[in-house]
Amino acid sequence: MDFSFGIISNGGNYNYLNKLIESINEQKIKNSEIIIVGNIDKEYILDKRNINFINFEENIKKGWITKKKNLITTNSKFENIVYMHDYLLLHKNWYKGYIKFGNNFDIAMNKIVNPDNTRYRDWTLWPHNENFIDEIIKDNSCLLPYSVLDLSKYMYISGAYWVAKRDVMEEFPLDEDLLWGQGEDVEWSKRIRNKYRFSFNKYSKTKLQKQKNPEFKKISKKQIKNIYSNL
């Protein structure tokens, strides 16, 4: 499997960025590349091998992450694209996990954990679907068990990290009218889930370099049962 690793950054934390680059290189993927979109001073990048730096003026539109992510798509060489913020890390067996998982997916998610190993927003329902789901999970019980694989049309993919096929992203780019904090990942998820399925790779893991509150909690067995009884 080949991968383009697309990283968006504003150059605010080179320690995070260098650790992420190191975690990618440690995968030892034969056909891969790293694309970094942002206002980056290359002098602070410790290992510049195999990196395509795409300069981005941050003051054009503050928080224009949709444009950055679409630039990753248009500049990627490989079929599988990893979209990620610079504060993540790949687990040492991330690539082995994807080899085991296989290449038959449109949009893929894997485990995302905080530094304390608690779950972040990886495999999750969206609580505002404007249907019966909303009432069942009105307490924000959105984090699904990794074994639940058939609720894509009620889910959303967090913009912090995901993996997708290049042709899928070319068909469904992010909406560049939306900025950071305006639900760009929710809007994209709602569009793309009507045609493509979200798949979960249980063999791979990414980790945040800083603690973040997922704001969602785990869904109960009773709530899952209620969802299926209403399908």
162-186 pLDDT, tens digit per residue, is 999 999 999 999 999 999 999 999 9
- Write the CATH number of the domain with boundaries 3-114+158-211: 3.90.550.10
β-strand pairing of 155-156 with 124-125:
antiparallel
Domain ranges of the chain: 3-114+158-211
How much is the average pLDDT of 100-124?
98
Rg of the chain in Å (alpha carbons): 17
Q: Do residues 154 and 135 lie in contact, with contact meaning Cβ atoms separated by under 8 Å?
A: no
Q: Of the candidates 182, 206, 222, 4, which has an alpha carbon nearest to the alpha carbon of residue 120?
A: 206
**pLDDT value of position 65:** 97
Q: What is the pTM of this model?
A: 0.96
pLDDT at 69 over 90: yes
Percentage with pLDDT > 70 across the chain: 100
Q: Do residues 157 and 183 lie in contact, with contact meaning Cβ atoms separated by under 8 Å?
A: no
